[in-house]
Amino acid sequence: MNTILYMGISINGYIAKADGDSEWTSDEDLKGFYEGSKRAGNIVMGKNTYLAAMKSGYFPFPDALNIVVTHEQIENRWGDERVLITDRSPNDVARLLEEKGFQTLFLAGGGQLNTSFMKDHLINEIYLDVEPLIFGRGIPIFADSDFETELELIETKQLNPNTVQLHYRVKT
């Protein structure tokens, strides 16, 4: 399984403002989420990201199996073909997708779930859309925890006059 983490970030590493707002990312970043999840056929997110996506009207993402990781009982009113709500561990989510025939897992945050996947050594590639913004307080791309990971830069791309995309491979 190849796991790709895709995130829009402020230049100081936040994926949302302190109140959870991540509406400040570019159209190109949003397009990246749609295209990446379509290509992979799935999109995996934590509960807080699901709630934020619901609020913004993005959930469920089309053309992909949407997986929400939570311990909460959330009613699945979209049907099992489109949405899966689960309390499985990151390893088990990856295994489940493999069993369903997926080759790529498209991880869409947020910071807490990203850290869980990273600590379990499940992330292979990272795309960062670096947006031209700094705010002093917010939700970091990786929730605080003790881990360290080395990366290899694969490609940089300018998405628009102000946004740069960094594509990394995670060193094993």
Ligand X SMILES: NC(=O)c1ccc[n+]([C@@H]2O[C@H](COP(=O)([O-])OP(=O)(O)OC[C@H]3O[C@@H](n4cnc5c(N)ncnc54)[C@H](OP(=O)(O)O)[C@@H]3O)[C@@H](O)[C@H]2O)c1
Instruction: Pick the closest to residue 15 from 159, 143, 138 (CA basis).
Output: 138
Nearer to ligand X, 86 or 124 (CB): 86
Nearer to ligand X, 119 or 169 (CB): 119
DSSP-derived secondary structure letter, 131: -
Q: What does the binding site for ligand X look like in residue numbers (CB under 6 A)? A: 7-8, 15-16, 20, 22, 25, 45-49, 52, 69-72, 90, 108-113, 116, 139, 143
Dig out the tokens for 159 from the structure: 């998405």
Nearer to ligand X, 29 or 101 (CB): 29
Helices (H), the chain: 27-40, 47-56, 90-99, 111-119
Rounded to 5 degrees, φ, ψ at 38 are: -65, -45
Compute CA distances 65 → 30, 43, 60, 97, 143, whole Å: 17, 6, 9, 10, 25
Minimum CB–partner distance for residue 30 and ligand X (Å): 9
Minimum CB–partner distance for residue 74 and ligand X (Å): 8
Nearer to ligand X, 104 or 112 (CB): 112
Minimum CB–partner distance for residue 31 and ligand X (Å): 12
Minimum CB–partner distance for residue 147 and ligand X (Å): 13
